[in-house]
């Protein structure tokens, strides 16, 4: 079983597990031109999105992202602030990217406000 990230043309994405390769999964998902229709169970409204890419996530990345999902937003902000004080190395940009992905997943509005600001820390946008 492998872990894959499915990214839509609107930039949203999700992770799923499947057998096979990224190419095989993409071929399966693209049977209708990559068109995915989902229905809101409450309103019944359909949403149509299109797949932009399918990529395999290595086990170490999937494990790290799962660990980040278990942390509170407060802990993620502390992790970000600690990363600001950490000497640059080969893995720091990747870890910071994962932190940003998780913060954005939790609160896209706060995330965008943070990016549009001059603040280094996301603290004032995510912690009341």
Mind listing the pLDDT tens digit for each residue in 26-43?
899 888 888 988 898 899
> Do 49 and 69 sit in the same domain of this protein?
no
- For residue 34, give the DSSP letter: T
Whether residue 69 is found in the same domain as residue 35: no
What integer best gives the mean pLDDT of the chain?
92
**How confident is the model at residue 114, as a pLDDT?**
97
Range of the domain at 49: 2-57
Same domain, yes or no: 67 and 42: no
Angstrom distance (rounded) from CA 66 to CA 42: 28
Per-residue pLDDT, averaged over 94-114, amounts to: 95
Q: What global pTM score does this model have?
A: 0.63
Question: Rounded CA gap, 6 and 52, in Å?
Answer: 8
Are 96 and 115 contained in the same domain?
Answer: yes
> Distance between CA atoms of 20 and 80, rounded to whole angstroms?
35
Confidence of residue 107 (pLDDT cuts 50, 70, 90): very high
For 3, phi and psi rounded to 5 degrees? -105, 135
pLDDT tens digits, residue range 43-75? Answer: 999 989 999 999 998 888 888 999 999 999 999
Shared-domain flag, residues 122 and 74: yes
């Amino acid at each position: 079983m492998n872990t894959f990230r499915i990214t839509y043309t609107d930039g949203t994405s999700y992770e799923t597990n499947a057998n096979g390769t990224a190419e095989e999964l993409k071929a399966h998902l693209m049977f209708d031109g990559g068109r995915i229709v989902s229905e809101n169970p409450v309103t019944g409204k359909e949403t149509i999105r299109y797949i932009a890419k399918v990529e395999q996530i290595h086990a170490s990345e999937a494990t790290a992202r799962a660990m980040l999902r278990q942390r509170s937003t407060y802990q993620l902000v502390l992790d970000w602030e600690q990363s600001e004080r950490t000497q640059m190395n080969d893995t720091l940009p990747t870890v910071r990217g994962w932190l940003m992905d998780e913060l954005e997943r939790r609160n896209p509005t706060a995330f965008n406000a943070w990016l549009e600001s001059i603040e280094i820390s996301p603290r004032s946008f995510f912690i009341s």
